[in-house]
Structure 1
Amino acid sequence: MRLAAAPISWGVCEVPGWGYQLSVARVLEEAARLGLRDIEAGPPGFLPSDARAARDLMQERRMRVIGGFVTATLHRRDDLDRELGGVERQAAWLRDVGADVLVLAAASGRDGYDAPVELEEGEWRTLLAALPRAQKIARAHGLELAFHPHFGTVIETRRSIERVIAQSDVPLCLDTGHVFLGGGDPVAIARDHAARVRHVHLKDADASLAAAVRERRMGYADAVARGLFRPLGDGGVRMGDVLAELVRARYDGWAVLEQDIALRARPSDDDAPERQIARSRDFARAHIASYDVLTMGRVSVDLYPEQIGVPLAKVTTFAKSLGGSATNVAVAASRLGRRAAVITKVGADGFGDYVREALAGFGVDARHVGTDVRYRTPLVFCEIHPPDRFPLLFYREPTAPDMTITVDELPRDAIRDAQVFWTTGTGLSAEPSRSATLLALETARGMRFHDLDHRPALWAAGEDPSRWAMEAARRANVIVGNTDEMEMATGQRDPARAASALLALGAEVVVVKRGLEGASAFTIEGGVTVPGIKVDVVCGLGAGDAFGGALAHGMLAKWHLPHALAFANAAGAIVASRLACADAMPTPREVEALLANGRATSAGVA
């Protein structure tokens, strides 16, 4: 389940006289600060009507549009072609800005949301016949349709929702607040019809105000202005139960924090919508039991030279970025829409503060980032000599905080429940991190990935990295490494022979990253190789981590191995064509575009 934002939570609405409208800049800035870099499009006019301008605006802020809300009158036969034409225009815009989902509500054909509408049988037949047409439009534009029961539309009541479910196969947008407002049970929908839920709007509602609106004793807009919709957990909707049912069903779509509000005036800092949204975000995170991807291991602050092709002695300025293999993989997964977190440690210093802030900005849960007051947050300097030489200088002496993680500090419930748990070879290079890493692999119940991630400079003389790599392999389902790392672990440089040795230990999949030659994956049934993708290399650092995050994303999606490998290869190629690691991680649309046309963009990350 992936959290996203909605502009209506900041009071942005197309209804005339709705209230004070905040600027797009403020809404996007606050959403990013909350770690919600994925957002719905909002009403017409909120984002530029020109799709390229809208996409560029989002890319500048490392954000993206995931979907948009569209209304159409679907029960009037004479108007249907015109209404679906409007849906198609919106679908084209959403496609061009890189969205995933078209959220469609069946408008009443009247102004406002207050007048109830009961459809006649002929109107029902027209509406039900229109839904497959709308779904076909969405698919033609590369979008998924999610039909939205919404108060004040022709599908608002429990009975009308049940009829749509029974007499169509259209995917649903479960809006918890609107279902509750119409007298339905959002928990029952999440429990009994989870397979139909394609998109979720999470909103709580004040029970007494909801009853007044439902019984038409109060207008909808008036109730919203009075605080109808509440931060999650503050209202009458059983939000914890809804989220529990979605988690139980392994719902894997977007969960949008959508608390409709109306602002009377420009809010003060003490009364900012951001505070309410943060409460909903924290509630949702606390009730979503598992992470899609939880990584454990190295973190650093990477300093990249702004002068290319010169040694460190000649560099005059550096650019700062988040780094460290495990940290980068978590960021890569988050950029692809996965709920991600990292288990690591930083020092009690300004760079440690930066790590937490940067993780939050990338949408990665930082609650498992600890602090060791004895040691400084690691720094890494690099030289950039394209296309294939990027030497690193590590500042991790006498040790790094992330190497002091102990078995007692492991968040075992989070590790146990994560769908993907990812460890790295650096975590095996010294105690107490070594024992903690091995125990964490034993604790995990989801897919257990081990990235060989061999950095010789981080191993003390006399240590045996091969021994500990094989110990980790015995506890993992999926082993990932490049050719050099495979040789370190198994003594075999040939990918197939190295994979055979690791499969014999119990691994289910062995993935070998082969740079320009592509990537190979092996199981007991055989192997598959996908070719490399040629790009203009700027900096190869972080490409392997982008590959890892994308591989986890593909395997979570249950893609066939060739598809998952090709997607991961493309993600790595994109990062190789850019400067920095975490900041360069691509979005799904960027990866898909490279696979489609063979060209990577070197522009800012979306």
Structure 2
Amino acid sequence: MSRWRLAYHANCWGPLGGNAVGVTSITQLTYRTFGDMARAAREIAAAGYEGIELFDGNLLDGEGDGFRDLRTALEATGLRLVSTYSGANFVFGEILEEELARIERAARAAAALGAEHLVVGGGAKRARGLAGGDFDALARGLDRVVALARAHGLNAHYHPHLSTIVERPDEVRRIFGKTGIGFCPDTAHLAAAGGVPAEMVREHAGRISYVHLKGWRRDPFAFTPVDEGDCDNAAVLQALAEIGYRGWITNELDSWPDPAEGARRGHAFVKARMPAD
């Protein structure tokens, strides 16, 4: 078996958004792709991938019928559900339990379908800027995520994300000095925030057991397939090879005119740089 296994996130097969009910009900504030997940699975499998990642909202859509449609799609394509992605504010103590309850629902659902990983983003930026204690509050929340993920047999990872309090390399370094959660580097978000993703992979090598590979263009700002743009994903793959990374690499692309074409390009890009065992 190859050192790396390749998956693709289904977020490109429709507009990205969230559950609008979450505006007034924190427990419902999930991410989702407004698209056909069965079609996404078929086209991801046809592009050569072994696995798929889903937003928590798309995953939880199947709770009521025991995930019948999702199980059917996975069985028909031979794909493995590798991970689900969720998120939270984490810094507002009064709502933290509601946020964690929602994340645990996603973890339970992912585990029921055989996933290995749970990825979370977050750490809200306040309207008036960073408040004292926000990094500590985020770290405590992330440690709670580690515990709930472990209870369901999942590995938990934090995904630094644009628009949160953890964007720049110094902020990434700061949060990982306070929490034991794993690091899921999203190469496009790291690059857009001023980091050099390959260097950050080397710096945080001991934290990485799951990866989001993503392309990014500086001007005009856009996320792109992993084989184009201003994020040097070839250097990232070289760094992963150097640190002896073994595990899933999930290519990701938020929006593209032809999602299947973007998936094929991403698969070819990584396969051409996959190290020999």
User: The TM-score by the shorter chain falls in which range?
Assistant: 0.7 to 0.9
Cα distance, 1:233 vs structure 2: 2.6
User: Retained in 1: the 8 A contact 2:123–2:138?
Assistant: no
- Find the aligned partners of 2:122 and 2:91 in 1 and give their Cα distance: 8
Query: Counterpart in 1 of 2:11?
Result: 8
- Find the aligned partners of 2:273 and 2:42 in 1 and give their Cα distance: 26
- Find the aligned partners of 1:189 and 1:64 in 2 and give their Cα distance: 28
SS at match of 1:71: strand
Q: 1:140 and 1:205, CA in 2 relative to 1: closer, same or farther beyond 3 A? A: same
User: Which one of the candidate residues 42, 56, 62 is aligned to 2:55?
Assistant: 42
User: Which one of the candidate residues 13, 20, 27 is aligned to 2:40?
Assistant: 27
1:87 aligns with 2:78: no
SS at match of 2:16: coil
User: Retained in 2: the 8 A contact 1:199–1:254?
Assistant: yes
SS at match of 1:137: helix
Cα distance, 1:144 vs structure 2: 0.3
User: Retained in 2: the 8 A contact 1:13–1:43?
Assistant: no
Cα distance, 1:10 vs structure 2: 2.8
Q: 1:118 and 1:247, CA in 2 relative to 1: closer, same or farther beyond 3 A? A: farther
1:295-343: per-residue Cα shift (whole Å, max 9, x none)? xxxxxxxxxxxxxxxxxxxxxxxxxxxxxxxxxxxxxxxxxxxxxxxxx
User: Which one of the candidate residues 106, 114, 136 is aligned to 2:147?
Assistant: 136
User: Retained in 2: the 8 A contact 1:72–1:106?
Assistant: yes
- Find the aligned partners of 1:24 and 1:55 in 2 and give their Cα distance: 11
- Find the aligned partners of 2:125 and 2:97 in 1 and give their Cα distance: 15
Q: 1:260 and 1:52, CA in 2 relative to 1: closer, same or farther beyond 3 A? A: closer
Query: Counterpart in 2 of 1:243?
Result: 237
- Find the aligned partners of 2:13 and 2:78 in 1 and give their Cα distance: 20
Matches within 5 A, 1:415-430: 418=277
- Find the aligned partners of 1:12 and 1:257 in 2 and give their Cα distance: 18
Query: Counterpart in 1 of 2:173?
Result: 162
User: Retained in 1: the 8 A contact 2:87–2:122?
Assistant: yes
Query: Counterpart in 2 of 1:206?
Result: 217
- Find the aligned partners of 1:247 and 1:118 in 2 and give their Cα distance: 38
Matches within 5 A, 1:463-482: none
1:538-565: per-residue Cα shift (whole Å, max 9, x none)? xxxxxxxxxxxxxxxxxxxxxxxxxxxx
Q: Which has the larger radius of gyration?
A: 1
User: Retained in 1: the 8 A contact 2:17–2:34?
Assistant: no
Cα distance, 1:167 vs structure 2: 2.6
- Find the aligned partners of 2:95 and 2:157 in 1 and give their Cα distance: 21
Cα distance, 1:154 vs structure 2: 2.6
Q: What percent identity do the matched residue pairs reach?
A: 29
User: Retained in 1: the 8 A contact 2:53–2:82?
Assistant: yes
Cα distance, 1:179 vs structure 2: 0.9
Q: TM-score, normalised by structure 1?
A: 0.41
SS at match of 1:174: coil
- Find the aligned partners of 1:16 and 1:88 in 2 and give their Cα distance: 17
Higher RCO structure, 1 or 2 (CA under 8 Å, sep 6+): 2
- Find the aligned partners of 1:124 and 1:180 in 2 and give their Cα distance: 21
SS at match of 1:14: strand
Q: TM-score, normalised by structure 2?
A: 0.85
SS at match of 1:121: coil
Unaligned runs of 5+ in 1: 211-227, 263-270, 291-417, 419-606
Query: Counterpart in 2 of 1:127?
Result: 138
User: Retained in 1: the 8 A contact 2:211–2:250?
Assistant: yes
User: Which one of the candidate residues 65, 68, 86 is aligned to 1:70?
Assistant: 86
Query: Counterpart in 2 of 1:256?
Result: 250
1:582-606: per-residue Cα shift (whole Å, max 9, x none)? xxxxxxxxxxxxxxxxxxxxxxxxx
Cα distance, 1:109 vs structure 2: 7.4
- Find the aligned partners of 1:109 and 1:181 in 2 and give their Cα distance: 17
Aligned length: 260
- Find the aligned partners of 2:178 and 2:138 in 1 and give their Cα distance: 11
Cα distance, 1:76 vs structure 2: 1.4
Unaligned runs of 5+ in 2: 21-32
Matches within 5 A, 1:191-202: 191-202=202-213
1:398-437: per-residue Cα shift (whole Å, max 9, x none)? xxxxxxxxxxxxxxxxxxxx2xxxxxxxxxxxxxxxxxxx
User: Which one of the candidate residues 60, 76, 79 is aligned to 1:60?
Assistant: 76
User: Retained in 2: the 8 A contact 1:52–1:96?
Assistant: no
**Counterpart residue type for residue 69 of structure 1:** Y
Query: Counterpart in 2 of 1:288?
Result: 274
Which stretch has the larger CA shift, 141-150 or 5-14?
Answer: 5-14
1:190 aligns with 2:206: no
1:478-503: per-residue Cα shift (whole Å, max 9, x none)? xxxxxxxxxxxxxxxxxxxxxxxxxx
Cα distance, 1:56 vs structure 2: 3.9
Which stretch has the larger CA shift, 236-245 or 59-68?
Answer: 59-68
SS at match of 2:177: helix
Matches within 5 A, 1:579-594: none
SS at match of 2:55: coil
Cα distance, 1:280 vs structure 2: 1.4
- Find the aligned partners of 1:77 and 1:131 in 2 and give their Cα distance: 13
User: Which one of the candidate residues 251, 266, 277 is aligned to 2:263?
Assistant: 277
Query: Counterpart in 2 of 1:229?
Result: 223
Cα distance, 1:260 vs structure 2: 1.2
